[in-house]
Amino acid sequence: MSADSAGERLARLRREFASIDGDGDGFITEAEFRAHFPELPAEALGALRENADADGDGRFSLEEFVRVMP
Ligand SMILES: [Ca+2]
Ligand SMILES: [Ca+2]
């Protein structure tokens, strides 16, 4: 692991987040997620929502996104 890998990871996740966030409002809704990953099974999406949506508002902030993505 290089010293700047955490920063690189964050930069990559930011880009990924922005590409999924179709309307660019800074939150990924379930619909936006489904539009970006059409093959994702409903169970996976449900599990993701349970694990990732920390504040339970039904959408993912960048902070929540970064926490669950590899
Ligand atoms: Ca959005
Ligand atoms: Ca949330």
Q: What is the pLDDT of residue 2?
A: 58
Give CA–CA dist 53/61, Å, rounded: 8
Give CA–CA dist 20/36, Å, rounded: 6
CATH number belonging to domain 5-68: 1.10.238.10
Taking the centre of ligand 1 as the mean of its atom positions, its distance from the CA of residue 18, in whole angstroms, is 9
Give CA–CA dist 70/21, Å, rounded: 18
The model scores a pTM over 0.85 = no
Q: 59 - beta bridge partners?
A: 29
Taking the centre of ligand 2 as the mean of its atom positions, its distance from the CA of residue 39, in whole angstroms, is 22
pLDDT values of the chain reduced to their tens digit, one per residue, 70 residues: 556 798 999 999 999 999 999 999 999 999 999 999 999 998 988 888 888 999 999 999 999 999 988 7
Map out the domains of the chain as residue ranges.
5-68
Angle at 50 between CA 52 and CA 69, to 5 degrees: 25
Task: Indicate which ligand has the atom closest to the C-alpha of 19.
Answer: 1
